[in-house]
């Protein structure tokens, strides 16, 4: 009598990496600051995240054109696009190294039933639905509860009555996020 053993991995839920999480936090922080410049240290301290992690995230966000980095004594960071022009789903797709939530999505798939597996189809539909929901949000949507966000971040941010204003036209029309 043959005995078959199956290795069953623990169930894992769709989970974004810290890299994506930190990216959205950086964008949120910069969105709240409006045209005022922020520093990497300021953001790291505000969220209690390693400065080195924020450096990596900021570098990538800059490469992708989401943020603008200004060097020098009076340098800092700010959004390169209006909050309305930054789509959350797009950010996640850019920041996640892989969206392979199950083995059969990856290049190294060894599952022999993949070509006929209904679960693969279901997981693909679930991932598509997850991303479609995120595609429905922009950074402006994340900034909507501004007063409450300011209160939570008040130990490092001091809101001014006119903030945030996006008066510098960097390819996007000026918008108020109020």
Domain boundaries, the chain: 17-86+138-178, 98-137
Handedness of CA 98, 101, 105, 109 (dihedral sign): positive
Res. 82: pLDDT tops 50: yes
Please check whether residue 133 is in contact with residue 57, taking contact to mean a CB–CB distance below 8 angstroms.
no
Distance in angstroms between the alpha carbons of the first and the last residue of the chain? 71
Fold of 17-86+138-178: Arc Repressor Mutant, subunit A (1.10.10)
**Band (98; pLDDT cuts 50, 70, 90):** confident
Two structure tokens written together for 2:
């043959």
In angstroms, rounded to a whole number, what is the distance separating the alpha carbons of residues 52 and 57?
9
User: Count of alpha carbons within 13 Å of 132, Cβ hemisphere only?
Assistant: 6
Please check whether residue 103 is in contact with residue 47, taking contact to mean a CB–CB distance below 8 angstroms.
no
**Band (103; pLDDT cuts 50, 70, 90):** low
């Amino acid at each position: 009598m043959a005995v078959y053993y199956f290795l069953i991995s623990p169930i894992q839920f769709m989970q974004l990496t810290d890299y994506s999480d930190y990216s959205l936090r950086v964008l949120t922080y910069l969105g709240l600051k409006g045209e005022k410049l922020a520093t990497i240290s300021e953001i790291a301290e505000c969220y209690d995240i390693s400065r080195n992690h924020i450096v990596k995230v900021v570098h990538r966000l800059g490469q992708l054109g989401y943020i603008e980095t200004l060097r020098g004594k009076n340098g800092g960071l700010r959004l390169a696009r209006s909050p309305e022009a930054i789509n959350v789903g797009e950010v996640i797709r850019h920041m996640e190294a892989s969206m392979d939530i199950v083995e059969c999505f990856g290049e190294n798939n060894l599952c022999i039933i993949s070509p006929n597996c209904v679960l693969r189809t279901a997981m693909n539909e679930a991932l598509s639905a997850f991303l479609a929901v995120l595609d429905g949000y922009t950074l402006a949507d994340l900034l909507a509860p501004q007063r409450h966000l300011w209160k939570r971040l008040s130990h490092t941010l001091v809101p001014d009555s006119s903030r945030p204003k996006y008066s510098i036209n960097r390819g996007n029309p000026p918008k108020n996020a109020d």
